[in-house]
Amino acid sequence: MPDIITTTGLCKQYGKFLRVKDLDLRIPAGAVYGFLGPNGAGKSTTMKMLVGIARPTGGTISVFGKQVNSRNRLSILKHVGSLIESPSYYGHLTGAENLRIICVLKGVPDRDINRVLQIVRLENQKEKRVAQYSMGMKQRLGLACALLGNPKLLILDEPTNGLDPAGMQEMRELICSLPQQYGMTVMVSSHLLSEIDLIATNVGIISQGELVFQDRLSTLHEKSRTSIALRTQNNQTAEKILSGQGISCRRQDDYLLLPKLSDNELAGHIFRLFESNIGVVRIEERRKSLEDIFIELTGTAVSL
């Protein structure tokens, strides 16, 4: 699949502080690209640079295979929908009036308003002033605005922020459906690992302005290894016995961690420990969670 967005050595410096460092993003067509990172890692700054509302201090951005510059920026952005940080709206106008303004400025026909309102399920609220909308409705209006003109690429910065659990689930389902139903590529940022795990096909992890991981989500999952945790009444002797049988094990707290074994193999090893009069008091299967991997990669505990 060709890449819809590629950045090379993308940097953004504020004063002496380098907020984004040499970012090389590759976002394939048709993907839901989860852009993950702790708060303040540089996700929003990167997305702002992608839509041209912040200027990079170094590097290049290519969208749809074209290198973005000040001359072609708006013509490229005609095919990009974005929702950066928080939804933009005129509170004294109705939802439909808000969308009409963007429609006219984008050169999109008026009939698109009803289509996007249906997608975000706001068609019954379109004549209500946006100031009276709930946070979730405003967020959905922001998404409707981004969907105007059926863009090929959607850039959504923390779209579930401020939503209740039902609203979050609704938004996630909507995002997941966009590539299949409308052929869009979606880049969505979040500081919630669990959220990205539910919606993304590809993932990029940014930490302190640097990209520390970028690949398919399945590759990230492969990193999560299963192990067997064993607690005995004499871990030292047990470790010697198991090592003698060619099992690599390491100690962690009061446990011995063994690699994944078949049930028969494990039963055999446990039997041998019994034979040596070592009481086995706990046997647990442990899986390294995505969160553990995230912490390993970023050195920061992720917000959950």
Partner 1 sequence: MIKALAMEFQKIRRRKVWAIVAALISVQILLALWGVDRMDAHELSQGWMHFLYQFPILNSIMMPVMAAVVASRLCDIEHKGQTLKLLNTVMPAGRLFAAKFLCGALYMLAAALLQIIAIVMAGLVVGFEGSPPLDKLLYYLLFTTAVNLTILLLQQVLSLLFRNQMIALTVGIIGSFAGLFIMFFPQNLERFFLWGYYGVLMLVGMDWDRATRISDFYYMPVDWTGFSILAVMFCMIYIIGRSLFIRKEM
Yes or no: say if 205 and 36 are a contact pair by the CB < 8 Å rule.
yes
Figure out which of the listed residues 9, 24, 85, 221 binds partner 1, where binding follows CB under 8 A. Answer: 85
Structure tokens at 173: 């389902």
Phi–psi pair at 222, nearest 5 degrees: -60, -25
Q: How far is the CB of 47 from partner 1 (least distance, A)?
A: 11
**Concatenated DSSP letters of 223-285:** T--EEEEEEES-HHHHHHHHHHTT---EEETTEEEEE---HHHHHHHHHHHHHTT--EEEEEE
| CB closer to partner 1, 79 vs 272 | 79
Site string for partner 1, 35-74 (x = CB under 8 A): -------------x--xxxxx------------------x
Question: If binding is defined by CB under 8 A, does position 88 make contact with partner 1?
Answer: yes
Question: If binding is defined by CB under 8 A, does position 189 make contact with partner 1?
Answer: no
Q: How far is the CB of 129 from partner 1 (least distance, A)?
A: 8
Figure out which of the listed residues 9, 39, 104, 114 binds partner 1, where binding follows CB under 8 A. Answer: 104
| CB closer to partner 1, 77 vs 113 | 77
Q: How far is the CB of 42 from partner 1 (least distance, A)?
A: 15
To the nearest 10°, report the CA torsion of 291, 171, 42, 208: 0
Question: If binding is defined by CB under 8 A, does position 84 make contact with partner 1?
Answer: yes
Figure out which of the listed residues 11, 18, 93, 257 binds partner 1, where binding follows CB under 8 A. Answer: 93
Structure tokens at 172: 């996630």
Give the whole-angstrom CA distance, residue 185 versus residue 176.
10
Q: Count of CB atoms within 10 A of residue 101's CB?
A: 13
| CB closer to partner 1, 52 vs 209 | 52
Figure out which of the listed residues 80, 113, 168, 220 binds partner 1, where binding follows CB under 8 A. Answer: 80
Figure out which of the listed residues 40, 72, 90, 110 binds partner 1, where binding follows CB under 8 A. Answer: 90
Figure out which of the listed residues 4, 41, 102, 206 binds partner 1, where binding follows CB under 8 A. Answer: 102
Give the whole-angstrom CA distance, residue 86 versus residue 73.
22
| CB closer to partner 1, 43 vs 269 | 43
Q: How far is the CB of 232 from partner 1 (least distance, A)?
A: 60
Plot region of 150 (φ>0 → left; ψ -120 to 50 → alpha; else → beta): left
Q: How far is the CB of 43 from partner 1 (least distance, A)?
A: 15
Question: If binding is defined by CB under 8 A, does position 92 make contact with partner 1?
Answer: yes
Give the whole-angstrom CA distance, residue 217 versus residue 215.
6
To the nearest 10°, report the CA torsion of 141, 142, 146, 148: 20
Q: Count of CB atoms within 10 A of residue 130's CB?
A: 20
**Where does this chain bind partner 1 (CB under 8 A)?**
48, 51-55, 74, 77, 80, 82, 84-93, 97, 100-102, 104-106, 130, 145
